[in-house]
Chain A
Amino acid sequence: MKLKRLNIALPKGRLGEKVYEMLENLGYGCPGLTDGSRKLIFEDDGGITRYFWVKPSDVDIYVERGAADIGVVGRDILLEHNPDVYELLDLGFGKCRMCVAGMAGYEPNPNRTLRVATKFANIARSYYASKGREIEIIKLSGSIELAPILGMSDVIVDIVETGSTLKENNLEVKETVCDISARLIVNKAAYRFKNEEVRGLVEKINAIYSNKVN
């Protein structure tokens, strides 16, 4: 039986490019994808794949709603949105940590509500709920580091890669919430109706990882 075309949502940016490079090496290449053209959708001639670049924090939405069969997304987004998808692989790319950070040397008063500035409201809420700490979420969309510097928040919950931005602004990591890396996710219906195609791809990726270990 002829294999069905796989719809793959990749996150725009460096992570997506790295993942595409891996997929291309596995025989899932698609001409024109990395030319920097303004096209939104790319199909290969062999009918194996159809790719589209989407905003990294939207990948899970495309997959959950079936617009894409497969997607690559950071664990931070999965924890924040909790989409109804299968998370088949940890790709190991884009490693970083979700951290609580604050001004160096600053200890928040434990007797009052902790003010937490973050893009990741759900992650922050469930992290502090598990510790039984009462918090007030200050939802921001960017430049989170500014909040504690200006005294608007006591701490921030954000992604830390190298920690250099924190250091430059006299901030430090106080606690690690969890480790983050890129995950391969699959739509639940696609897992069934394109099972052979999805499994084929997952097995090929798995083969690289087991080769690396050996």
Chain B
Amino acid sequence: MTQNILRKEEKAIFDLRELYETHGYKKYKMSKFEEYDLYADNRSFLAEGNIITFNDTHGKLLALKPDVTLSIVKNAASGERIKEYYNENVYRAIDGEYREIMQVGLECIGEADLYSTCEVIMLAKKSLECISKDYILDLSNAAFVGGLFENRSIPYDVREDLLTCVAGKNPHDLARICRENGIDDAICTKLTTISETYGKVEDVIAALRPLAENDTMTSALDELEAIYNFMTAVGEGENLRLDFSLINDISYYDGIIFRGYIDGVARGVLSGGRYDKLLDKMGKHTGAIGFAIYMNTLDLYFEDKNDYDVDILITYDDTADLAALTRTVKMLTGGGRSVRVQKSGDGSLKCREYFRFGERGLEIETT
């Protein structure tokens, strides 16, 4: 019965909470408001959309929380080890409209060694599994593409344009920008290969290994290889892909980045990665890794296809014995069926069976 009442979305959220709790993550509860300054100071760490602000009773500028990670990081004491998950609504103004977005996420702060990294990636993977068996988790390491720009004097804006092309798997504009800015063909070819190569982790690592030209790039690949070997060894290697076109569009992720997709949902549903830079900026020099699931992208996916609003509809009139009616309802609901009682039916309710309750008791309505 309980399973039936839960909508698919609610069930998924319960499954996710259970998953995180069994791995020792604690639930983080937050208030809806935060001082605006926190977001103004860390703008580059925020994803798309504007912040919704308002004044408190003393005229101080407050924000409806657009993000949970920043609040968790802010409240973390220096040196504290945090394993927390959350299930919260966040608020953003996107394309001129105020939106309430439900986010489920998880943060692991204070330790970001191989074990913690793999634990978080595994939990991301299992989170997707809670939603659908047809999922893909893409891994990437921002340091790999970043390493290619090391010791090369390419202006910042050109670099941003090139990275946009890599992220869009767009080889033609990549070639044009390189041509227009006199960037040598070798880099252009490498960036093109990086953006186009997609597939199983071991295949992509093997294909891109020859492109590594310095320690940064090599260690970026080594890090991914270590993670992948670990995941495979613990039986979690399937459904993982490698895609270096996945770079930091949400700029708080540096280093390891991952993104989850569900078959049947047009956009990525899970986004995560390392965000050590954010902790550095807040003066807490330690590692951090986490992810968030955008439940709003799953709205349509979770839509319950209910043919009926209720199992049984009973209408009654003034002649009905109300005590007898109540006993009947008790009997029917006791059998596990849902019953709605009202004085007259307006035809808008979809029910499996329709009864009238009059002077003589329960009658089947045949119309």
Contact = CB atoms under 8 A, between A and B. Distances in A.
Interface of A: 64-66, 84-90, 183, 187-189, 191-193, 195
A189 B261 contact: yes
Interface in B252-267: 261-267
Interface string B71-93: 00000000000000000000000
- Minimum-distance CB pairs A-B, first 6: A66-B266, A90-B172, A87-B170, A86-B169, A193-B263, A192-B136
B136 A188 contact: no
20 contacts: A64-B266, A66-B266, A66-B267, A87-B169, A87-B170, A87-B172, A88-B169, A88-B171, A90-B172, A188-B266, A188-B267, A189-B263, A189-B264, A189-B267, A192-B136, A192-B138, A192-B241, A193-B136, A193-B261, A195-B198
A86 B261 contact: no
Contacts of A84: 267
B361 interface: no
Given A86-B169, A87-B172, 7 more contacts: A87-B169, A90-B173, A187-B266, A188-B261, A189-B266, A191-B198, A193-B261
Interface in B221-235: none
A75 B343 CA distance: 61
Specify the main secondary structure of chain A where it touches its partner.
Answer: mixed
Contacts of B169: 86-88, 191
Nearest to B168: A87
A192 B134 CA distance: 11
Contacts of B263: 189, 193
A208 to B, nearest CB: 15
A86 B170 contact: yes
Of A86, A183, A192, the most chain B CB neighbours within 10 A belong to A192
A64 B265 CA distance: 11
Instruction: Classify chain B's interface size.
Output: 20 to 34
A17 to B, nearest CB: 22
Contacts of B171: 88
A183 B168 CA distance: 12
B243 to A, nearest CB: 9
Given A86-B169, A87-B169, A192 B261 contact: yes
B268 interface: yes
Contacts of B199: 195
Q: Which of B169, B264, B267 has the most CB of A within 10 A?
A: B169
Contacts of B241: 192
A206 to B, nearest CB: 10
Nearest to A85: B168
Contacts of A87: 168-170, 172-173
Contacts of A66: 265-267
Interface in B261-279: 261-268
A65 B168 contact: no
A87 B245 CA distance: 12
A187 B264 CA distance: 11
Contacts of A195: 198-199
B265 A189 contact: yes
Interface string B148-181: 0000000000000000000011111100000000
Nearest to A87: B170
B267 A193 contact: no
Nearest to A92: B172
A57 B134 CA distance: 32
Interface string B195-234: 0001100000000000000000000000000000000000
A195 B198 CA distance: 9
A133 B136 CA distance: 45
Given A192-B138, A195-B198, A89 B172 contact: yes
Contacts of A86: 168-170, 245
Contacts of A188: 261, 266-268
Contacts of B136: 192-193
A156 to B, nearest CB: 25
A75 to B, nearest CB: 9
B171 to A, nearest CB: 8
Contacts of B267: 66, 84, 188-189
A187 B198 CA distance: 15
A84 B266 CA distance: 10
B244 to A, nearest CB: 14
A89 B198 CA distance: 16
A66 B301 CA distance: 13
Nearest to B241: A192
B363 to A, nearest CB: 48
A195 B136 CA distance: 12
